[in-house]
Amino acid sequence: MPGMADRRRSTTAQLLFIAWPPLCAIGCAGAAAPAQPPAAQPSPVAIVVAPLPVASAQPAVALPDECAELSNPDVVAKLDLSRHGVDARRQAGIRAAIGASAELQRMAASIDADLRTACSRILMDLGGSPPEGSTANPVCSAAAKAIGDFKAKAGGSFTLTIRPPSCSGSMQEMADCAGKCDLQPNQGLTEVRCEGGELSGECAGQCAGICALTVGSECNGACDGACDGTFTGSCSGTCNGKCDGKQSRGECLGKCEGRCEGTGSGACQGACRGQCRLGSAATCKGQCSGMCTVALKAPRCSGMIQPPGLPKECTAWCGARVVRLTECTLAQVKIKASGVADPTPAQRLIAALNAHLPLVLKISIGIKDRALRASFDAAEVTTRAHSTLAPGASSCVLTALQKGQDAANQIRESLNASVNVMASASASSR
């Protein structure tokens, strides 16, 4: 479509590192505007960001507990590590490694909390009791076993259909973090790239593609999600109306016309809560993935966000931060039982998985690859930083780096736990 910025080609965001202030709009005084692309090419997403002033110009952040500050990723960039026994020559690299460690610790805690919540609820819905005071791993092991036990009680076979979650990271977060990492301050124009994924963002103009609706809104196209109105299409849930032309108040394996109590994919005459596949350019009250008549605002990337030229320590720090702040839509699941001997355990199992499996899938499908990569990168730089510390370094610094390695191991264990629960739910029978 003429004049539209195509997401499949527009996979680059530009960063301009300047001295001060922290964030300056394109073309403001004192900042050189990024070079414009040729007129025949779509305009890239432009992000202008500045690093913090050099460490010597900043006051050190003082907290009552001198070790606690090293676990806070929001203050690590401002820390003067000299009082922790780190010489000036090594400060930037050690600071970045500690930043990666702090981000990884928060990521590990967030993943563990989500998994513990989901697995505990599955287990309780199936009559079990989650162990107290433990990480998510034993809870998820118990949940996976309970899923298998209920399938054995029900007999027959089970089919799980999954519409995967959609996850994306903020390119602005990567830009901001890159500006704070002063290991090797960049001068001039640097690109932040979206690799192996698609760009999305706020489209103030007309969007043609997919519009992810944050709230229920009219969909001028096909609605993939819940429809608060008259619906025509495939329905994963209860079809109240007609199924293939016949009156229906239950499951419909064909075309549903009426109301779909659940999620569906089709035409919606009403508010759509989910994704709207736009047939033509239209206003998008959400995240536009596709083509937009103007440049996207607050761009996000569904793949890996890469800032070329950053040192490994900065890439690990900023990569871990972006992954920690990744946003995902919940997966949609449909479980069907056939040939069961006892419908009661089958119904309880289906209800439990419909309600709580999507949160597990956010981890096992949505962020698994990103989190795994972040854990390896951060573990590498924290190990290297640990080996370069002078003998006078404080135990606070040593502990902060070790916590990053411990968090990396915890993340990998949590990812395995999420995959095991998904595998148990996906198995056709015990």
Residue 430, pLDDT score: 57
Asked if residues 70 and 98 have their Cβ atoms less than 8 Å apart, the reply is yes
Of the chain, the percentage scoring pLDDT greater than 70 comes to: 80
Max avg pLDDT among 27-36, 110-119, 169-178, 275-284: 110-119
Which residues, including other chains, have CB under 8 Å from residue 118's CB and lie 6 or more apart?
Answer: 356, 357, 359, 360, 421
Interval 31-39 mean pLDDT: 31
Neighbours of 1 (CB within 10 A): 11
Note the pLDDT tens digit of each residue in 174-189.
988 888 776 655 444 4
Note the pLDDT tens digit of each residue in 97-156.
999 999 999 999 999 999 999 999 999 999 999 988 778 999 999 999 999 999 999 999
Q: What is the DSSP letter of 38?
A: P
Interval 149-174 mean pLDDT: 92
Residue 141, pLDDT score: 95
Residue 426, pLDDT score: 92
Asked if residues 178 and 258 have their Cβ atoms less than 8 Å apart, the reply is no
163 or 59, which is more confident: 163
40 or 339, which is more confident: 339
Judged against a pLDDT cut of 90, whether residue 334 lies above it is answered with: no
DSSP string, 73-112: TTTGGG--GGGGT--HHHHHHHHHHHHHHHHHHHHHHHHH
Judged against a pLDDT cut of 50, whether residue 38 lies above it is answered with: no
Residue 50, pLDDT score: 33
Interval 213-237 mean pLDDT: 79
Max avg pLDDT among 70-79, 98-107, 254-263, 282-291: 98-107
Asked if residues 151 and 353 have their Cβ atoms less than 8 Å apart, the reply is no
| CA–CA distance, 155 with 340 (Å, rounded to integer) | 5
Which residues, including other chains, have CB under 8 Å from residue 293's CB and lie 6 or more apart?
Answer: 3, 4, 5, 203, 205, 206, 281
Asked if residues 13 and 47 have their Cβ atoms less than 8 Å apart, the reply is yes
Least confident of 42-51, 108-117, 137-146, 199-208: 42-51
Chain-wide mean pLDDT for the chain? 78
The residue type of 172 is: Q
Any bridge partners for residue 295, and if so which? none
Least confident of 15-29, 41-55, 173-187, 216-230: 15-29
Strand (E) or helix (H) holding 281:
none
- Domain definitions of the chain by residue range: 5-60+171-177+189-199+299-311, 68-166+329-426, 207-282
Residue 190, pLDDT score: 57
